[in-house]
Amino acid sequence: MHQGLADVMERIPVSGPSITQKEIDYVTDAVKNAWYGNANMYHERFERAFADYMGKPFAIALPSCTSAIHLSLLSLGVGPGDEVIVPDITWIATAAPITYVGATPVFADIDAQNWCLSPESFRACITSRTKAVIPVDLYGNMPDMDPILDTAKHYGIAVIEDAAEAIGSEYKGRKAGSLGDTGVFSFHGSKTLTTGEGGMLVTDREDLYRRALVLRDHGREPGDLMFFNSEVAFKYKVTSMQAALGLAQLERIDELIERKRQIFNWYKNELDGCTFLTLNSEPPGTKNTFWMVTIILDKGYALDKSQLMQRMAQKKIDCRPFFHPLSSLPAYRNSRNAQEASLRNPVSYGISPLGVNLPSGMDLTQLKVKYVCDTLMGTLAEASPNTLLIGSVDPCQD
Ligand SMILES: Cc1ncc(COP(=O)(O)O)c(C=O)c1O
């Protein structure tokens, strides 16, 4: 039987890290030595190095970006009766902590070009109850932050910048995660900088920093040796092994970001002539670190994201669906807020069914990217004639 490339090739995962001897050495050192009086040595180094990288005075290493958003909301005093505006397209972790604190998420539409919070939709969602907004730097891109920050300032709305997916991205020379009252990051195993699971909260504001330190350690002051809790709070800490891994990754951050940009450029070169799909954008003044290379199929394709993913999976290529609008998910869709959002967010609802994240792991090679793109083209061309409305066997305009 004839063997194709797919038969000999290993599965191509959708994401994954770059781990070198440096990471192994640091984690090994932590597991051997970061105990007793040295228990926090890697936490301190990682937080200091991260704060310096961000140009911020304060950084707190946390178990996840979700916990960083939770602590941001609590430190800002967001609670029952308040509304917090989020883009409709994001991972649920942006919105879930709003519910944890008893506030209500309000889902704004995204911008058709950068796929991030639309400044106009944000403005239209503001009410007298709006306490905060959480713009999201989706897939490494950034929203048009100036009008968002101006509007937030005008209405006295706090800004939590969800840079979970965008370490190293920039907006007009300012780093992703540095533009709000707090900035939050994820170091989940799929992220550009990973600690397996993990997160970081950065801020300029000492009041928020001090409050978050108490809330993340069962309601006791930093340095408390008397185990004396002033309130009931949370246990949000990371291990020294995670901190060591994070420090090693941070010391390689320029290389990691360059790698992501290189992977995107490989895809861009392969797919550039294709008029029927759109890749991640990089608007003028923005540096996109392309956490996930993403395509949006033109509406002409009857093939939706799940059908495309299934067909790619048969060829050993794992993809991910573009996020569903949060307001469409069973977790939210019965609320009045979500129902209103589903009517007012045409861009989110228009793009989401047609979007697929392509493999973007750090171990990708140019050859594998070519295989993914060839398979993608073949899959789209093989789709039924009704599906392929542009009517050519080779859908790439060469
Ligand atoms: C936009 C966004 N926000 C928040 C999170 C939550 O991060 P974590 O899984 O570290 O809690 C993620 C994680 O994927 C994310 O993509």
pLDDT one digit per residue (tens) for the chain, 398 residues: 445 666 667 899 999 999 999 999 999 999 999 999 999 999 999 999 999 999 999 999 999 999 999 999 999 999 999 999 999 999 999 999 999 999 999 999 999 999 999 999 999 999 999 999 999 999 999 999 999 999 999 999 999 999 999 999 999 999 999 999 999 999 999 999 999 999 999 999 999 999 999 999 999 999 999 999 999 999 999 999 999 999 999 999 999 999 999 999 999 999 988 888 999 999 999 999 999 999 999 887 768 899 999 999 999 999 999 999 999 999 999 999 999 999 999 999 999 999 999 999 999 999 999 999 999 999 988 874 454 444 343 444 44
pLDDT of residue 303: 82
Determine the atom of ligand 1 nearest the C-alpha atom of 136.
1
pLDDT of residue 7: 63
Residue 48: how many other CB atoms lie within 10 Å:
12
Determine the atom of ligand 1 nearest the C-alpha atom of 138.
1
Q: What is the pTM of this model?
A: 0.95
| Residue 132, C-beta contacts closer than 8 angstroms, at least 6 positions apart | 73, 76, 78, 82, 84, 85, 157, 158, 159, 160
Q: Is the CB of 161 under 6 A from ligand 1?
A: no
Distance, CA 39 to ligand 1 centroid (Å)? 27
Distance, CA 394 to ligand 1 centroid (Å)? 37
Q: Is the CB of 160 under 6 A from ligand 1?
A: no
Q: In angstroms, rounded to a whole number, what is the distance separating the alpha carbons of residues 349 and 337?
A: 15
Give the active site residues. 191
Q: In angstroms, rounded to a whole number, what is the distance separating the alpha carbons of residues 292 and 361?
A: 8
Q: Is the CB of 114 under 6 A from ligand 1?
A: no
Q: Is the CB of 47 under 6 A from ligand 1?
A: no
Taking a C-beta distance cutoff of 8 angstroms, is the pair 94, 65 a contact? no
Determine the atom of ligand 1 nearest the C-alpha atom of 165.
16
Q: In angstroms, rounded to a whole number, what is the distance separating the alpha carbons of residues 326 and 91?
A: 8
